Amino acid sequence: MIRTGPIGSVLVANRGEIALRICRTLAEMEIRSVVVASDPDREALHALSADRTIFIGGESPAESYLDQGKILAAAREAEVDAVHPGYGFLAENAAFARTVEEAGLVWIGPPAAAIAAMGDKLVARETMAKAGVPVIPGSPVLTEAGAARREAERIGCPLMLKAAAGGGGKGMRVVRDPAELPAALEAARRESQGAFGSDAVFLEKYIERPRHIEFQVLADSLGNTVHLFERECSIQRRHQKIVEETPSVALDGELRERMGKAAVEAARAAGYVNAGTVEFILGQDREFYFLEMNTRLQVEHPITEMTCGVDLVRSQVAVARGEELPWRQEEIGRRGHAIECRVYAEDPANNFFPSSGRVTALAEPAGPGVRNDTGIYEGAEVSTFYDPMLSKLVVFGEDRESAAARMVRALRGYQVLGLATTIPFLAEVIAHPAFLAGDTCTDFIPRHMEGWKLRDEAAAEAALLAALAQPDTTGGGRSAAGGERGAAAFDVWREVGRRGNR
C-alpha cells in the first residue's frame, strides 16, 4: 500500500523548469511550496519563485539534488507533508521513495515496489509478458561473449544491446552483424557501469525505423486506472527525445484503442498508482511492443495537458491525498493538436555539444496557444553541472498543420543570447517537409538533419545580436543602448520578431 494523506505543503526535490512548473500548480491549489537549491542555483528561477527555498550546498548532482540525506533534512526543516520528485534525479529511485514514506511523509509518485520493478528492464519485460502485453523478443542478462553469441543467433540480427538498469541512451548499441557483438558488448557494459553502477545488459530484437509511442496513464489508490491517450516522441538525438506531439499521425482509432488498453493493463500489472507513462515501439508493420515504463511525470506531459484539459500535477497531488480519479476512461476526451520542443543549451552544429554561460538577452514567444515552461531569465547563469534543457516550448492548434505553423513562428521569435541553443535547429525540424508529411520515425535526425549548419543569414543575425548584447565597457549600459549599434540591434530584433509573427 502507498501512503496517502492531507497535503498542505510540499517539498519539490528538483530544480529548473520542472520545479517551477510544479510550484505553480501548488500555488493554484493553495499548497505551500518548498524547493531546494545547490550553490550554482542560488539565483535560479525556481529558487527565487517558491514560497521557501532551502539551500543545500554542493555543485554536482551527487553533492546536492541526489543527496538523499540533504533532501530529507530539508523536508524535516520545512515541516512539509509531502515530497514531489519531478523527473530525473531521485524521481525513479525506489529506495528514496521508501525512505520518504518511512519518514512519515507522502510520496507524490508511485509505490516504491512499482518503481523498482519497472526500473529493472528485465523484470519489467517479464511482468508485461505475464500480463499479455506485447514485448520485443530478447535475452536474459548477458555476462560473457559466448552467451551473447548464442542469444544473438537465436533472436537474429539486427539487435539492440541495452543496459538493464537505466535508459536515456546510455549503454545502448545497435548490432547489425554478429562480428560486431563482442566489441559492442564490452562497450555497452562499460558505459552501463559508469552511468548506472551496474554492467548488466541484455539483447533485444532491433526494430528498423520504428516510431516511439507512449501512453500517459493515471491510477488512484482505489483501483481505478485510465489512460490519457498517446504522445509520439520519435524525433530524438542520441536516443533522447527533442520533439513530441499528440495525437500521433501513425495511429488510427483501432490501433489507438488496442495500445491504450495495453497501457492500462501494463500499469495494473505493475501495481501502479499516480501518474506514469507506458512506452511502446511501433514497427512499420503496425505491430507494437512494450519498451519501458517511466514511473514519474514525463518531460513532455504538457502536450497531454493542452489537448485533454487536465493538469497532471494537480492530478498527482489529488491521488497522493487518497482521492478517487474524477472520470472513467470513456469520459476522457481531447481536442486539437499539441507539439512540444525541448530547448537545450547545446550547439546542434557541433554534435549537440553543451553550452554554458550567462543569458545576456531573452525574448520568449507568446500569444494564443503558446506555453513556454522555462527555468531561465535574462541574466541567469546556465552552468555545466546539470542537464542543459532551458525550456519546453509547447503550442496548441486545432489541427496538426496549424500547430506546426504556430510552433515555427514561436521558435523564430524565440531569442536566447549569450550561449548556443537548439532553437534554430528545432525551427528547421518542424518546417521540414518530412515532419509536415508525418514521416517521423526515430531515424528522422540522422536521415534528414545530418550535418546541419546554421544558415548564413541566421548566423549573421545571431552574431550581431550577441555582440550588441554584451556589456558596454564605456559605462553606458548594454552596448545596444544607443547610437548606430543600438539602431542596428533594434532593426535585427524587429526583423526577428516580424518573422516570428508570420
Beta strands in 45-87 (DSSP E): 52-55, 82-84
pLDDT digits (tens, 9 = 90+) for 353-398: 999 999 999 999 999 999 999 999 999 999 999 999 999 999 999 9
State the pLDDT confidence band at 480, using cuts at 50, 70 and 90: very low
Averaged over 314-337, what is the pLDDT?
A: 97
pLDDT band at 475 (very low <50, low <70, confident <90, very high): low
pTM of structure: 0.87
Q: Could you tell me which residue, 342 or 480, shows the higher pLDDT?
A: 342
- Res. 499 pLDDT band, cuts 50 70 90: low
**Reported confidence tier of residue 498, pLDDT bands at 50, 70, 90:** low
Give residue 206's pLDDT. 92
Give the side-chain half-sphere CA count within 13 A for 308. Answer: 27
- Helix pair 423-431, 400-412: axis angle to 10 deg: 150
| C-alpha separations of 51 from 7, 30, 86, 363 in Å | 15, 11, 17, 26
pLDDT at 482: 46
Q: Beta strands 9-12 and 32-37: pairing type?
A: parallel
- At 104-131, the pLDDT tens digits run 999 999 999 999 999 988 899 999 999 9
Q: Show the domains of the chain with their CATH numbers.
A: 9-108 (3.40.50.20), 137-205 (3.30.1490.20), 211-448 (3.30.470.20), 456-500 (no CATH)
296 is catalytic: yes
At 410 the pLDDT is 98
* pLDDT tens digits along 134-152: 999 999 988 788 899 999 9
For the residues 93-98, what does the mean pLDDT come to? 97
Cell triple for 412: 523564430
DSSP single-letter state for residue 138? B
Active-site annotation holder among 15, 173, 211, 296 = 296
The SS3 assignment for 246 reads strand
Average pLDDT rounded to a whole number, residues 463-487: 53
